């Protein structure tokens, strides 16, 4: 998950980078360095979600490959088994061209890579000379250099696609001990020497053939992990599991249940209702009882459209309200309350921007609708019957009001939520956020005590 998180953040940076935002270059470099380290870690753990096996070390009990290289040789080989060690011992360099979303890369190994196991091979050189063998083998390439570039595009549906991929492989020298070639003995020893000479030469003189071979193997695997909408859904589902504990390192409190000792607010409807209100001992439960209906990340607009369905949210607490109704009827009330939302739909969008090396919410739209509510405000009126009627009116009015006043409600929520979120984000650079999201061990989970 961690490489996905940083890659998603990097996509945001690339979209912003096209606009030449001051300071973004340092953050992009930091993101690229993190991606390289995440690749190293991913090699050690694999990724079951995409079917990527553990690569460091890579072990396969039964692997069959066919290699055809520009008419020079055509080989069918079965390894039972094969062990490749040292793939994670690379020295890497990753760059990005923000205008074209092209990633030039370079991976270098000294003599850390080794391959060993048991092989059964059959094929031909130059279409005529038979090559065959069976036995143990050991191969150590030295001075390995992998260079190339990957270009990424957006299909407009939250899916990043690998539109172009090139890779070249060069090695300085090759150490081999492949037993049993051409029936073994002196011929096998001679062929080992030929291989040690010819393989580096082939890679230098026929780079296109090896590039096509490696690209065909890597291209499909890379495209499996680039759906940003899927990444977001994974993060949201992961976030649901840690809502009971919150994220202390980000200043996010426990959200299930959410508790708030005191908050104040003001309602001013000209000629209808004005009051100053406060809520104490607020408790909101079941905030993690929701479904993700839709998420759609428009990466180059830095905008996320979303829709969530909360099945039931329960709130309790103490309220105080002081003001005037119809501009001339004063009131001053307080007491316990309970208020439940049933079938609450939250749809909207959020648009972000970079301010130097800080992320901020530029626009926040939220359009709530609700199937029904349960209202239980005590002591709004002195008579219990009148109080009951008031609560029934609230239960009738709230769903209709939310439905008929979408823009007004959205503006109110934006004025309340956006400053709070930006205040929270203001303490962290993007590099800080990437580190926090990866957790202390870089395991790609939200840092939480859960």
List the CATH number of the domain containing 327. 3.15.10.30
Q: Is a pLDDT exceeding 60 seen at residue 251?
A: yes
Q: Is a pLDDT exceeding 50 seen at residue 28?
A: yes
* CA 362 vs CA 12, 133, 355: distances in Å: 14, 65, 10
Identify the pLDDT of residue 18. Answer: 40
Q: Is 447 contained in some domain?
A: no
Q: Does 343 share its domain with 377? A: yes
Q: Is a pLDDT exceeding 90 seen at residue 294?
A: yes
Q: Is 33 contained in some domain?
A: no
Q: Does 338 share its domain with 308? A: yes
Identify the pLDDT of residue 437. Answer: 56
Q: Give per-residue pLDDT as tens, 142-181.
A: 999 999 888 877 665 555 677 788 888 999 999 999 999 9
Question: Which of 204, 223, 242 is a domain's end point?
Answer: 223
Across the range 109-138, mean pLDDT stands at: 91
Q: Does 178 share its domain with 151? A: yes
Q: Is 317 contained in some domain?
A: yes
Which range among 235-249, 364-378, 419-433 has the greatest average pLDDT? 364-378
Across the range 205-230, mean pLDDT stands at: 69
Question: Which of 175, 204, 223 is a domain's end point?
Answer: 223
Tokens of 71: 């008419």
Q: Is a pLDDT exceeding 70 seen at residue 363?
A: yes
Residues recorded for the chain = 450
Q: Which among 363, 300, 421, 431 has a CA at the least distance from the CA of 23? A: 431
Q: What does pLDDT average to over the chain?
A: 82
Q: What pTM value is reported for the model?
A: 0.62
Q: Does 216 share its domain with 240? A: no
Q: Does 92 share its domain with 190? A: yes
Q: Among all chains, which residue has been given the structure tokens 């003189």?
A: 205
Which range among 47-56, 61-70, 245-254, 284-293 has the greatest average pLDDT? 284-293
pLDDT range class, residue 2, cuts 50, 70, 90: very low
Q: Is 170 contained in some domain?
A: yes
* CA 433 vs CA 153, 298, 402: distances in Å: 25, 21, 35
Q: Give per-residue pLDDT as tens, 401-444.
A: 999 999 999 998 998 889 988 888 877 776 666 565 555 444 45
Contact assessment for residue 428 and residue 447, using Cβ atoms and an 8 Å cutoff: no
Question: Which of 193, 223, 253 is a domain's end point?
Answer: 223
Q: Does 216 share its domain with 243? A: no
Q: Is 22 contained in some domain?
A: no
Q: How many domains does the chain have?
A: 2
Q: Is 110 contained in some domain?
A: yes
Q: Does 264 share its domain with 336? A: yes
Q: Does 268 share its domain with 317? A: yes
Identify the pLDDT of residue 215. Answer: 74
What is the span of the domain harbouring residue 243? 230-438
Q: Is a pLDDT exceeding 70 seen at residue 15?
A: no
Q: Does 243 share its domain with 389? A: yes
Q: Is 243 contained in some domain?
A: yes
Q: Does 172 share its domain with 85? A: yes
Q: Is 27 contained in some domain?
A: no
Q: Does 201 share its domain with 260? A: no
Q: Is a pLDDT exceeding 70 seen at residue 355?
A: yes
Identify the pLDDT of residue 21. Answer: 41
Q: Does 390 share its domain with 285? A: yes
């Amino acid at each position: 998950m961690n490489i996905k998180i940083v890659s998603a953040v990097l996509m945001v940076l690339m979209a912003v980078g096209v606009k030449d935002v001051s300071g973004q270059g340092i953050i992009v470099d930091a993101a690229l360095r993190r991606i390289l380290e995440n690749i190293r870690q991913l090699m050690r753990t694999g990724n079951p979600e995409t079917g990527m096996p553990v690569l460091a070390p890579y072990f396969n009990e039964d692997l069959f490959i066919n290699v055809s290289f520009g008419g020079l040789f055509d080989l069918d080989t079965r390894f039972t088994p094969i062990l490749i060690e040292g793939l994670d011992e690379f020295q890497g360099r990753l760059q990005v061209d923000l205008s074209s979303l092209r990633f030039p890369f370079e991976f270098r190994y000294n003599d850390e890579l080794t391959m060993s196991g048991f092989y059964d091979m059959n094929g031909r050189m130059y279409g005529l000379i038979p090559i065959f063998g069976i036995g143990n083998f050991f191969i150590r390439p030295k001075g390995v250099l992998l260079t190339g570039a990957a270009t990424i595009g957006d299909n407009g549906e939250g899916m990043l696609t690998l539109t172009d991929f090139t890779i070249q492989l060069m090695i300085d020298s090759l150490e081999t001990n492949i037993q049993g070639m051409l029936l073994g003995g002196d011929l096998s020893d001679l062929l080992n020497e030929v291989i040690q000479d010819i393989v580096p030469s082939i890679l230098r003189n026929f780079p296109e053939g090896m590039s096509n071979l490696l690209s065909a193997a890597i291209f499909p695997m890379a495209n499996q992990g680039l759906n940003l909408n899927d990444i977001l859904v994974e993060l949201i589902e992961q976030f649901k599991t840690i809502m009971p504990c919150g994220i202390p390192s980000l200043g996010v409190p426990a959200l299930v249940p959410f508790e708030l000792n005191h908050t104040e607010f003001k309602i001013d409807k000209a000629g209808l209702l004005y009051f100053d209100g406060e809520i104490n001992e607020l408790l909101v439960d079941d905030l993690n009882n929701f479904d993700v209906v839709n998420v759609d990340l428009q990466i180059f607009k830095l905008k996320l459209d979303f829709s969530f369905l909360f099945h039931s949210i329960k709130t309790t607490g103490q309220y105080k309200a002081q003001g005037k109704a119809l501009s001339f009827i004063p009131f001053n009330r307080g007491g316990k309350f309970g208020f439940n939302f049933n079938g609450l739909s939250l749809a909207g969008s959020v648009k972000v921007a970079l301010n130097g090396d800080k992320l901020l919410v530029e626009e926040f739209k939220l359009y709530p609708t609700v199937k029904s509510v349960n209202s239980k405000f005590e002591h709004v009126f002195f008579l219990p019957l009148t109080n009951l009627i008031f609560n029934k009116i609230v239960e009738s009015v709230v769903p209709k009001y939310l439905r008929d006043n979408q823009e007004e409600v959205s503006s109110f929520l934006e004025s309340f939520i956006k400053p709070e979120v930006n205040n929270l984000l203001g303490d962290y650079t993007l590099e800080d956020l990437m580190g926090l999201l990866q957790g202390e061990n870089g395991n790609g989970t939200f840092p939480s005590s859960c």
